[in-house]
Amino acid sequence: MQRAARAFWLRSPGHGEIRDVCLPEPSDDEVLVRTLCSGVSRGTETLVFRGGVPKSQHSAMRAPFQDGDFPGPVKYGYLNVGIVEAGPRHLLGRTVFCLYPHQTRYVVPVSAVTPVPDSVPAHRAVLAGTVETAVNAVWDAAPLIGDRIAVLGAGMVGAGVAAVLAKYPAVRVQLVDADPTRASVATALGVDFALPEDAAGGCDLVVHASATEEGLARSLELLAPEGTVLELSWYGDRRISLPLGEAFHSGRLVVRSSQVGMVSPSRRSSRTFADRLALALDLLADPAFDALITGECAFDELPDVLPRLASGELPGLCHRVVYETAADPA
């Protein structure tokens, strides 16, 4: 028996639509999941929506369960929380997280889902992919006790990194953003806030996540001698310039990339992707992370909402998509 489902597809850059899909019967090592909610990863997904993935990165940027190819038609996304409706007995009825696009129901291997701890509500678990990125970034950054740290860019990833760093002992963490309304996010996460021009300098570490040329330049300015900028921004097909004169050489400054596609080298020998995701879900027991979810829409509204997210008309951090899949035909 085939089950019907509905999925969000990017038909072409800037144009999304809901399509009907048929699901196969799950095999013994697969699960059928009914989606409860999914999250729009504002930075990456809006870049995909605009058609901004460079040809050289088409393979590297593929999501685990992506259908189609860039720039479109493509089914893209990776923040999905649902309930297992069919599969092994130990997973039946469990709430799980999966790196799956926006779709009402789907069939994936058992190994592709991670049970959500009872301490984490489903509506918050959509942040698991974002917090996993933050965990990997902090592993890459390797902050030390007493470090002076700035996180420049209070988007989903930047705010997630600040939330994880806030748990470190005796560190000074300042969340920096050009939008003064992000001060409330910093307060909820338990860190300081500053506008870029007011940010405290002398930093041992700056995590840059604003995806702007100005933000990266300001990150270098905030460093103490021999400090490091950890670059988390994804610029897509945009070229940026960077001031490598001034104090860059005399201060022995470092700019280093971080990316979630591989486990950080500092933990690669002892942690798997599954370990990293499980850790992210454990961290989400903290209700402070609710500050990262700033908007919500129904699944059927997604074709109209994503253009507004991509244009900036709908500001905020993570946009949650809620589902009413019980009405899907069998």
Structure confidence at residue 2 (pLDDT): 66
Architecture of domain 131-257: 3-Layer(aba) Sandwich (3.40)
Structure confidence at residue 185 (pLDDT): 96
Across the chain, what does the average pLDDT equal? 94
User: With 80 as the cut, is the pLDDT of residue 288 above it?
Assistant: yes
Please calculate the CA angle 77-51-80 and round it to the nearest 5 degrees. Answer: 5
Residues 6+ apart with CB under 8 A from 197: none
User: With 80 as the cut, is the pLDDT of residue 325 above it?
Assistant: no
Structure confidence at residue 92 (pLDDT): 97
CATH code 3.90.180.10 region(s) in the chain: 3-127+284-327
User: With 70 as the cut, is the pLDDT of residue 326 above it?
Assistant: no
Structure confidence at residue 1 (pLDDT): 57
Residues 6+ apart with CB under 8 A from 141: 205, 207, 228, 230, 258
> Are 144 and 63 in contact, with CB atoms under 8 Å apart?
no
| pLDDT > 90: percent of the chain | 87
Q: How far is residue 269 from each of residues 69, 137, 274, 275, measured CA to CA in Å?
A: 32, 16, 13, 12
Structure confidence at residue 328 (pLDDT): 52
Q: b/e map of 297-310 (b: 16 or more CB within 10 Å)? A: bebeebbebbbebb
Mean pLDDT, range 38-54, rounded to an integer:
90
pLDDT top residue among 246 and 140: 140
pLDDT tens sequence across 98-114: 999 999 999 999 999 99
CATH code 3.40.50.720 region(s) in the chain: 131-257
Grouping H, G, I as helix, E, B as strand and the rest as coil, residue 21 is strand
Q: How far is residue 19 from each of residues 7, 285, 299, measured CA to CA in Å?
A: 5, 34, 12
Confidence bin at 324 (pLDDT 50/70/90) = confident
User: With 60 as the cut, is the pLDDT of residue 329 above it?
Assistant: no
Fold of 3-127+284-327: Quinone Oxidoreductase; Chain A, domain 1 (3.90.180)
> Are 83 and 325 in contact, with CB atoms under 8 Å apart?
no
